[in-house]
Structure 1
Amino acid sequence: MMVQQERAVRTRRALVRAAAEAFAEEGFVPTTLSTISRKAGVSSGALHFHFASKHDLARAVEAAAAEAVRHITGQADQRPGSALQRLVDATHAVLGSLERDVVVRAGFELVTTAARRGGAVGVVDLRGQWQRWVCAVLHTARQQGELAGGVSPADAAGAVVAASVGFEVLSVTDPAWVSRHTLSQYWELMLPRLAAPGRLAGLVPGGSGPGVLRPAPATPEQTTP
């Protein structure tokens, strides 16, 4: 029984990753279930045992991507010190995941196809999840006296999220948009406007050190049918 469960978990992981690769390469609408099963190296019957439809696979990809983002922001929340630096570090980690992890990349790209997939029922709002966290950490920065006078946490969150989504969309055709260099340049421009006097010198636009936040590979849930 244990061996069968482990095999089922491996098959499900392979299918979610194959679906993510196909969605990222071809888009949700053109991708077929046969393409996904072929990429995963499993039979059509095995695919249908785990997922009833392409829509279910899309939801599984989004759920895996959402868990990867929660892993990053959860690590950031546990770090002491500057809330603004936590924001910088998490942004580097999230956008870096778009470059390195096809499941995260496909999860974000699927947000734009929600309407063509029959509405938002059951769809993970990855961008909304990211926006809520950014807004929360900027409110913490305000409470810690880190924000410059006249800077609203909500307005600042809007600017950060808009830039993040813009980089994400642009990276579909040019991965350089989510590179550490590009994001560091963005924070070099943004931080002087956000940070209170006396706080800017302690902030690192390029992230406060390699490996501070380690994005976990996006993997589907461990449960089996």
Structure 2
Amino acid sequence: MTAAAKEFDRHGFNGASLNNISNSTGVSMGALTFHFRAKELLVDAVHERAASLMREAVERAVEEDGAPLHRARNVLLAVANLLKKESAVRAAARLSRERKGKGDEWIKTWLPALRDQLQLAAALGDLDTDADVETIAALVTSLLAGLEISLRTPKGMPGPLRSPEHLWDLIRPALTARQVPVRVT
């Protein structure tokens, strides 16, 4: 599974080769295709591995003590850290982006938990009144997609952000900033 995840991470669905996966594992093509009769089935297995990792990380993130906005941060950091460390998670993100009609598989593993925490934060008054939960969720999704893509950036090109925490630091002020009314005298 690791070899398949790395192949899909590096080359995407269309560029991935069952022959490369077979060669990198030392498993014959016959044995590989016996277990995975089509590339789609191998993609499904990589997605399931990534989903399992994501579910565990997101569960831990929302079970931690703290305010809902802190737990939303934990979800973002959990996803970002898995993107940095796990080829299966990067592969799942890339494959979700590339495969038409199946683009929400990866997002479904973490976005509902993020939305739940943001909605709780809004209900408690922890979000700015102008901060819309769906807009924040879209922004976080875009930041994570950018991180996922930047992790494949060749040397010499602009690389990933300093740290996953930096992603949160970028958006947090806009979430909780309280607007001070301008007084006209």
Question: What TM-score does the superposition give when structure 1 sets the normalisation length?
Answer: 0.69
Q: What letter is aligned with 1:136?
A: D
**Count of aligned pairs between the two proteins:** 175
How far apart in 2 are the matches of 1:82 and 1:196?
16
Shift of 1:178: 5.1
1:93 matched to 2:74? no
- CA deviation map 1:93-146 (0-9, x unaligned): 21121121111111111112213xxx53xx761124333222121001112331
Report if aligned partners of 1:69, 1:94 keep a CA contact under 8 Å in 2: yes
Q: Taking CA–CA contacts closer than 8 Å with sequence separation of 6 or more, which of the two structures ends up with the larger relative contact order? A: 1
Q: What letter is aligned with 1:141?
A: A
Report if aligned partners of 1:77, 1:86 keep a CA contact under 8 Å in 2: yes
How far apart in 2 are the matches of 1:130 and 1:110?
16
Shift of 1:195: 2.0
Report if aligned partners of 1:59, 1:124 keep a CA contact under 8 Å in 2: no
1:156 matched to 2:136? yes
Report if aligned partners of 2:73, 2:168 keep a CA contact under 8 Å in 1: yes
Question: Which residue in the other structure is 1:222 paired with?
Answer: none
Report if aligned partners of 1:168, 1:178 keep a CA contact under 8 Å in 2: no
Question: Which residue in the other structure is 2:51 paired with?
Answer: 66
Question: Which residue in the other structure is 1:169 paired with?
Answer: 149
The one of 149, 161, 169 equivalent to 1:188 is: 169
Report if aligned partners of 1:37, 1:43 keep a CA contact under 8 Å in 2: yes
- 1:112-151 maps to which residues of 2 (within 5 A)? 112-115=97-100, 119-120=101-102, 125-151=105-131
Change (3 A) 1:79 1:33: same
Q: What letter is aligned with 1:55?
A: E
Report if aligned partners of 2:62, 2:74 keep a CA contact under 8 Å in 1: no
* Structure 1 gaps, min length 5: 1-15, 198-225
Report if aligned partners of 2:7, 2:21 keep a CA contact under 8 Å in 1: yes
Change (3 A) 1:186 1:35: closer
SS in 1 for 2:48: helix
- CA deviation map 1:125-179 (0-9, x unaligned): 1124333222121001112331122222222222222222222223221694254
Change (3 A) 1:68 1:124: farther
Question: What TM-score does the superposition give when structure 2 sets the normalisation length?
Answer: 0.82
How far apart in 2 are the matches of 1:22 and 1:129?
22
Question: Which residue in the other structure is 1:7 paired with?
Answer: none
How far apart in 1 are the matches of 2:141 and 2:38?
32
Change (3 A) 1:161 1:25: closer
Report if aligned partners of 1:72, 1:93 keep a CA contact under 8 Å in 2: yes
Shift of 1:196: 6.1
Question: Which residue in the other structure is 1:9 paired with?
Answer: none
* Structure 2 gaps, min length 5: 179-185
Identity %: 30
